Structure 1
Amino acid sequence: MWNRPLHSGEIGALAQCRSSGRGNVFSSDTAEFENFGVKEKWVDILDLCRPVQHNLILPETRTVEESLDMCKLLNATIAVPASPLDNESLQNDTIAFADVCLPTASWKVWLGISDAEEDGVWRRFGSSDRVTYTNFAPVNAASSYSCASMMVNGFWDGDLCTNKRCTSCHVEPADYLVVRGLCFESEYRSRFRVDEYIEGRPFFRGYYDLVIVWRPEVKKWVMINTASNSTLLRTSSVTKDYPLGMRQWDVVSEVCEVTEGDVLMVSLSHCSPVHFMCRSGHCIPRELRCDFRYDCRDGSDESNCHVVEVSDEQQRHIPPSGPDGGPLRLRAALVISRIANIDDINMAITLEFQFTLTWTDRRLRFRHLKDTKNGTILTEADAEKLWRPRYQLVNLEGGDQKLLAQSFMVNGANDGTTPDFNSVDMDVRYPGAMNELSMIQRFTARVTCYFHLYSYPFDIQHCSIDLRLPTEHEGYVAFSLSDAEVLYTGPRTLSTYTIRDERIDRSLGPSALSVYFDLHRRQGVILFSTFLPSGMLLLVSWATLFLGLDALNARAIMSLTTLLVLYTLFSNMSRSLPSGAAIKLIDIWFFVIIFLLFVNILIHIFVDNKVPETTNRIFVKGNTQTNSISVVKPQTSRSVKFLKVYRLIGLPVIVVLFNILFWSAVFLES
């Protein structure tokens, strides 16, 4: 004792045993004492600074594995003496419980070492470090067993790990447990340490005026306020276990505005705010909470795993407001995954697409969010608590729409806040304003698409998926068109079309969303199946014009056959297109060729195959008289001349001019 304040240098010297620290009022090594039944022992001053293990005996028998688990719950480890002084201290503690810890056995408490990894090499449990101090008896069974225990005489001996011994836990000076569920004003008041013994068992001492002690007469743990000497709480059920983990406590005296006779849920564990506390008191990393795997032994990490918390269940029918109090903006993303069928005749397309709407709802709070790329998928029960956006597929053909799958998810895990240190529920909460919700729906639908077939088969069709919000949402909910996205992930090349140029029409206003994509017809298929055969038929018909005029049957039959084949080809092509479509370029193509074939047939019929003759008379004068001789000379008819001009000049010129005009129109239209 001093009659003056000490400066920091003096205090540091005392704490590090550099000074004897004799006070100018009282000093224990110079003062005279009268001893009344007290044993006096002198120690060197350096021993006061030598670290001595603080060990506690748990006077219940357990296996090594059970002892490891119990010490872990107490934020401690199984004791391992590191010096003769530590060994003597642990032996003295053990002697005090010799009559409780297996009275008839010499082996009393487990030691936290094992040689299971390498026989004869003793290491601490859960560590590869070898112990530097041992105190095995000269004759021991250490070589026969993987575990070790201390005997009542202080020596160590090998022991079978499945045997049951008392437990000695080593508690570090800075380690503590935390009581949650009360209303402490300061976090320090919630801290408790495992301390010495009351009623033959360790008790839990708060940093201030609370203790938790064992009452053997009722076989319950009680929490006592030492300042008022009043009992506040008592465990609800009879138990021999330590009051670790989450338990129900009966209120004996009013505490935290909870009246006598009520029940409080209180927890006692060493779990930090970055952990999740199992109901048993074990700690697991927070990311293992609600991960669809049982990580707590009691499975409590997968209980109460709802994600969505709402302040008012009725509000889910009312759309949330936007961040600035204006309309709620829905961010849309449409992914077309497959085009199953293109029906040219009915002008409809069957496709499969995924439509995602994303928004925020500041009325909500979330728990158990995963900061992963895929976000946190909500269960059906959680999804039922949400306000859901509604919309209509406007250009649906015949109401043929099928919902394949639907899911709701929370994107990200932003601005999480840990509950108050008094809260038993240690789950982190996330504000709805900072974490977006997404509704993901996958459909197969048949939508209409008006086909413009004038330039068929060189046409490009502009088809769309038209979505519209209901009229009752007008002014309250709108599409965020600037953030809308569209993506096509299916095969680009189909049997008769190629898919190109997906885009969003942003000119329809905030209540409508149209996603366009272009169908480019594959002209090669039509060219080889329509234009090339029709051209070859025209060539065959032209070739009949060169047959002999006397072969009328061959010329007429060949021309008529080409006409019939061409008409059949035209009919098949017409049946593959909408019947109500306007005149198309390909109709003009077939009409002109059919007309030319028809003209060829007429020419074959009406051309005159009889060649006209002219007779010339030649007079021959003899000696006595003059004689005349008639000479017949063939004459070329006008129809034959016309045939020659038509087949060599007329028809080729007509075909060339028509092709020039036709293909010019095609390219201009394209």
Structure 2
Amino acid sequence: MQSVVVEAEKYSLTTGKGSYTLLGWWRFCYLHSFETKQHTIYWNDKVFSGTSEGPEMVRGGGLLVIGQDQDRMGGGYTFSQSLNAVVADLRLYNRTLTNSEALDFVSCKETHLDPQPLVSFPDFKNNWKIEGSVNIEDLNLADICQKESSFLIMFPEAWSFSQAVAMCNNVGGSLPVPISARENEQILSFLNPYIPYCSDAHGYSIALGMLKKYETHSHYHYKSGENITYSNFLYRRDEDSNCVAIAVTEDDYGYWYYSKCDLELCTICNFTSVTHLKDGQYTCDDGTCISIDHRCDLLAHCPDLTDEINCNTVKLSETYIWELPPPLPDGSPTQVSVFVNITSVRDVSLIDLSISFDMILVFTWRDPRLTFQHLRDNMDQNPVREGVGVWHPEVFMEDGDGSSVDVQVRGRQTFVRRVGPPNPDIPTRLKEGRQSINIQIYPRTVYTMLI
């Protein structure tokens, strides 16, 4: 859900909540009455009304910039404050529209309002100064106002039919299935720029989302099972194959042919909207979404096992020297707490004056030089993996007379104890973490290491 923010001079209004899908058209109209302090927002099929403070009028002069925030008059532009979208119509009127006029606009009905708007798009090139990466194209009202629009995305990697189906499914799309000559031509038009990336000695072709029924030699949609009545086979070949591809070669341009389902072809996916990662989810390398709680939990949940890759709990800096103990500001020795647990007494010999027993030693210390990541509340799930060189206290044992004792170490493991919330995300770390799309980085001074 998105809020509407309107600012005028020192006043700011945040109201209404509308929803939209990425790469889909949405229509918006804002009405404001300076006399009654009333405002109405039309967002697609939703209407929001309310009262708000504001200036008595909008002063003239100044500079109107569309698609870019100004930090100062005519400047202070930054890339992060640029609009990345397609704007098909923009109108600014010097009067408040009626309810029916606003509804006509957001309903994509032809509108002929009087007087004409102060600002509009009809004479775009003459009335507007275009700067930056801006493309101008002509659009039909029917294209903008269709109930459901679809679009294609290209994956220029060679995959088998099953791999292509899985990839499209993971990103919320499906393999394309043209059901008319017009849709077939649209796919071809989309594919043309990618021919150099996917052509090989056998030409260039793309898998379609249909399969063959051997009994009737008809075709059906691989996902819905619906029969496909439209056909564009130039001639039948490789009849033993079950999958269908569209050819983009000089001789067979736009025609279909049967292909083996294990043949690896470039893939395009068809979308009606872009689905984004839900809150609390992590993306596996193959596109599968899993709960972020399964990331680095010592159990593989991704089909490709990538949720357990790069899961080291400790991140070492280039200046870290594992042979040196953690430095303290006042130069005093590093404080190490020791916990001793004698688990069993194996043997007591009065003749040899010796004793043999098992015990567990737990050492606790702080190392402010370390950065931690992927930490969990359960310390057992935060092991420091073997091969990571971190400082450990050295242990020497002797008896009451100062003689050395025979020590057999049966195992040693280092864990990190989480005792606080994570630090803010680092944008340059591109893996998802619990808070956002980045790995969590934890405070370096409030964690305890144990062995």
Q: TM-score, normalised by structure 2?
A: 0.50
Shift of 1:359: 3.3
Shift of 1:340: 1.3
Contact 1:273–1:418 (CA under 8 A) maintained in structure 2: no
Contact 2:284–2:304 (CA under 8 A) maintained in structure 1: no
What residue number does 1:93 align with?
187
Give 5+ residue unaligned stretches, structure 1: 32-40, 177-269, 440-670
What residue number does 2:150 align with?
53
Could you give the per-residue CA deviations for residues 385-413 of structure 1, whole angstroms, max 9, x where no partner exists?
32526575554784223131332222348
What residue number does 2:105 align with?
14
For residues 327 and 103 of structure 1, the distance between their equivalents in structure 2, rounded to whole angstroms, comes to 67
What residue number does 1:438 align with?
450
Corresponding position: 1:365 with 2:371: yes
For residues 389 and 106 of structure 1, the distance between their equivalents in structure 2, rounded to whole angstroms, comes to 66
For residues 432 and 64 of structure 1, the distance between their equivalents in structure 2, rounded to whole angstroms, comes to 48
What residue number does 2:85 align with?
none
Judging changes above 3 Å, is the alpha-carbon distance between structure 1 residues 123 and 359 closer, same or farther for their aligned structure 2 residues?
Answer: farther
Judging changes above 3 Å, is the alpha-carbon distance between structure 1 residues 65 and 398 closer, same or farther for their aligned structure 2 residues?
Answer: same
Shift of 1:173: 4.5
Judging changes above 3 Å, is the alpha-carbon distance between structure 1 residues 350 and 398 closer, same or farther for their aligned structure 2 residues?
Answer: farther
What residue number does 1:149 align with?
245
For residues 70 and 58 of structure 1, the distance between their equivalents in structure 2, rounded to whole angstroms, comes to 9
For residues 318 and 59 of structure 1, the distance between their equivalents in structure 2, rounded to whole angstroms, comes to 51
Judging changes above 3 Å, is the alpha-carbon distance between structure 1 residues 172 and 387 closer, same or farther for their aligned structure 2 residues?
Answer: farther
For residues 232 and 191 of structure 2, the distance between their equivalents in structure 1, rounded to whole angstroms, comes to 25
Judging changes above 3 Å, is the alpha-carbon distance between structure 1 residues 105 and 328 closer, same or farther for their aligned structure 2 residues?
Answer: closer
For residues 144 and 290 of structure 1, the distance between their equivalents in structure 2, rounded to whole angstroms, comes to 46
Could you give the per-residue CA deviations for residues 483-502 of structure 1, whole angstroms, max 9, x where no partner exists?
xxxxxxxxxxxxxxxxxxxx
What residue number does 1:307 align with?
314
Judging changes above 3 Å, is the alpha-carbon distance between structure 1 residues 110 and 80 closer, same or farther for their aligned structure 2 residues?
Answer: same
Identity %: 12
Contact 1:58–1:166 (CA under 8 A) maintained in structure 2: yes
Shift of 1:150: 4.6
Contact 1:276–1:427 (CA under 8 A) maintained in structure 2: no
For residues 388 and 89 of structure 1, the distance between their equivalents in structure 2, rounded to whole angstroms, comes to 70
Contact 1:122–1:131 (CA under 8 A) maintained in structure 2: yes
Shift of 1:133: 6.6
Residue of 314, 325, 347 corresponding to 1:341: 347
Shift of 1:42: 12
Contact 1:136–1:156 (CA under 8 A) maintained in structure 2: no
Letter in 2 for 1:15: V
The 5 Å alignment of 1:310-459 reads: 310=317, 312-313=319-320, 317-319=324-326, 330-369=336-375, 372=378, 374-382=380-388, 384-388=389-393, 392=397, 395=400, 398-404=403-409, 405-412=411-418, 415-417=421-423, 419-424=425-430, 426-439=438-451
Could you give the per-residue CA deviations for residues 168-217 of structure 1, whole angstroms, max 9, x where no partner exists?
322455458xxxxxxxxxxxxxxxxxxxxxxxxxxxxxxxxxxxxxxxxx
Shift of 1:351: 0.7
What residue number does 2:231 align with?
137
SS of 2:360's equivalent in the other structure is strand
SS of 2:185's equivalent in the other structure is helix
For residues 139 and 311 of structure 2, the distance between their equivalents in structure 1, rounded to whole angstroms, comes to 59
Could you give the per-residue CA deviations for residues 507-539 of structure 1, whole angstroms, max 9, x where no partner exists?
xxxxxxxxxxxxxxxxxxxxxxxxxxxxxxxxx
What residue number does 1:260 align with?
none
Contact 2:379–2:416 (CA under 8 A) maintained in structure 1: no
What residue number does 1:167 align with?
267
Structural RMSD (CA): 5.8
Aligned length: 321
Could you give the per-residue CA deviations for residues 450-501 of structure 1, whole angstroms, max 9, x where no partner exists?
xxxxxxxxxxxxxxxxxxxxxxxxxxxxxxxxxxxxxxxxxxxxxxxxxxxx
Q: TM-score, normalised by structure 1?
A: 0.36
Contact 1:79–1:112 (CA under 8 A) maintained in structure 2: yes
Contact 2:347–2:356 (CA under 8 A) maintained in structure 1: yes
Contact 1:149–1:158 (CA under 8 A) maintained in structure 2: yes
SS of 1:88's equivalent in the other structure is helix
What residue number does 1:183 align with?
none
Contact 1:310–1:385 (CA under 8 A) maintained in structure 2: no
Contact 1:321–1:361 (CA under 8 A) maintained in structure 2: no
Give 5+ residue unaligned stretches, structure 2: 1-89, 124-137, 432-437
SS of 2:390's equivalent in the other structure is coil
Contact 1:135–1:156 (CA under 8 A) maintained in structure 2: no
Judging changes above 3 Å, is the alpha-carbon distance between structure 1 residues 423 and 107 closer, same or farther for their aligned structure 2 residues?
Answer: closer
Judging changes above 3 Å, is the alpha-carbon distance between structure 1 residues 342 and 430 closer, same or farther for their aligned structure 2 residues?
Answer: same
Which structure has the highest strand share of the two?
1
Judging changes above 3 Å, is the alpha-carbon distance between structure 1 residues 72 and 394 closer, same or farther for their aligned structure 2 residues?
Answer: farther
Which structure has the highest helix share of the two?
1
Letter in 1 for 2:404: G
Could you give the per-residue CA deviations for residues 124-171 of structure 1, whole angstroms, max 9, x where no partner exists?
5xxxx5255734539989996443335779887754213455533224
Shift of 1:106: 12
Corresponding position: 1:80 with 2:158: no
What residue number does 1:243 align with?
none
Shift of 1:352: 1.3
Judging changes above 3 Å, is the alpha-carbon distance between structure 1 residues 421 and 327 closer, same or farther for their aligned structure 2 residues?
Answer: same
What residue number does 1:627 align with?
none
Residue of 93, 96, 104 corresponding to 1:4: 93
